[in-house]
Amino acid sequence: MNKLEKNENYNNKTFEDIKHFDENGIEFWYARELMPILQYSKWQNFEKILDKAKISCENSEISVLEHFTDISKLSKRANNADVMIKDYKLTRYACYLIAQNGDSRKKVIALAQTYFAVQTRKQEISEKEYSELTEDEKRFYQRNLTRKGNYSLNQTAKNAGVKNFDRFHNSGYKGLYNGETADDIAKRKGLRYREDILDNMGSEELAANLFRITQTESRLKKDNICSEKEANKTHYNIGKNIREVITKNGGTMPLVCPI
């Protein structure tokens, strides 16, 4: 039995323990790991809850594929027979819907509902509330927004024909950072290999990058861009324009991390 199944003292840390991040810094959960925590011992039973959650998502006119990503794979049994193991990568919203459709008699289901709902609410605060945050809290808040923003931008860029996402994102960085790529920025900041540059920015620098992200996505959609070359050019120009505005207004350029 999984040690998580034995532990009845469920808390928010339990859900944090099985949280993952993809290559773009977007958080996700695996259905197979969430299942025992929600006290479901059989996949067949848990899959019924997944199906209900997907229907709820569809009824809200939200893309099911974006929130429930099928990652089924072949696995060998003890007798060397191949069997298809079904699993899903789940967004926070997907996990919330699963909790909403779970067995409400279970205490852990109520806890999951609260956890995934409250954590989402924490990402939506007013301007007054933001101004009262500490620098560390602002950084955490802005980092969450950039993760969500990059995920959404990637979907839009993919629809615009982008295949090389490293080149696409570097186009934006080059515009905003006066020709520097993500690797250049990481080296300048003295980061270790594969350490995320966005995790090492102050709130003001993150805000500049968030503006770059949201404005690029908006332009890709508005101009109905459908070629990788034009998408990269658009991302570069947006980054460059934001840098020029910061310079013109005498603001702090997005350079060295202030922390």
53-101 confidence digits (pLDDT tens):
999 888 877 788 888 999 987 776 667 777 788 999 998 888 988 988 8
Q: State mean pLDDT over 220-247.
A: 92
Confidence category of residue 127, pLDDT binned at 50, 70, 90: low
pLDDT over 50 at 9, yes or no: no
Q: Determine the pLDDT at residue 257.
A: 37
> Average per-residue pLDDT in the chain?
83
Q: State mean pLDDT over 103-112.
A: 80
Q: Hey, which residues does 30 pair with through a beta bridge?
A: 89
Confidence category of residue 38, pLDDT binned at 50, 70, 90: very high
Strand 68-70 and strand 82-85: pairing?
unpaired
What angle (nearest 5°) sits at the alpha carbon of residue 173, between those of residues 155 and 20? 50
Tokens of 204: 């003001």
Confidence category of residue 123, pLDDT binned at 50, 70, 90: low
Burial class (CB within 10 angstroms; exposed 0-12, middle 13-18, buried 19+) of 192:
exposed
Whether the CA torsion 250, 208, 161, 24 is positive or negative: it is: positive
Q: Could you read off the pLDDT of 152-201 as tens digits, one per residue? A: 999 999 999 999 999 999 999 999 999 999 999 999 999 988 788 998 89
What secondary structure does DSSP assign to 3-69, as a single string? HHHH-----HHHHHHT-EE-TTS-EEEEHHHHHHHTT---HHHHHHHHHHHHHHHHHTT--HHHHEE
Confidence category of residue 259, pLDDT binned at 50, 70, 90: very low
Q: Determine the pLDDT at residue 180.
A: 95
Question: Could you tell me which residue, 27 or 186, shows the higher pLDDT?
Answer: 186
| pLDDT more than 90, % of the chain | 41
What secondary structure does DSSP assign to the chain, as a single string? --HHHH-----HHHHHHT-EE-TTS-EEEEHHHHHHHTT---HHHHHHHHHHHHHHHHHTT--HHHHEEE--EEEE-TTS-EEEEP-EEE-HHHHHHHHHTS-TTSHHHHHHHHHHHHHHHTT---HHHHHTS-HHHHHHHHHHHHHHHHHHHHHHHHHTT---HHHHHHHHHHHHTTT--HHHHHHHHTPPTT--GGGG--HHHHHHHHHHHHHHHHHHHHTT---HHHHHHHHHHHHHHHHHHHHHTT---S-S---
Question: Could you tell me which residue, 42 or 9, shows the higher pLDDT?
Answer: 42
The model's pTM: 0.52
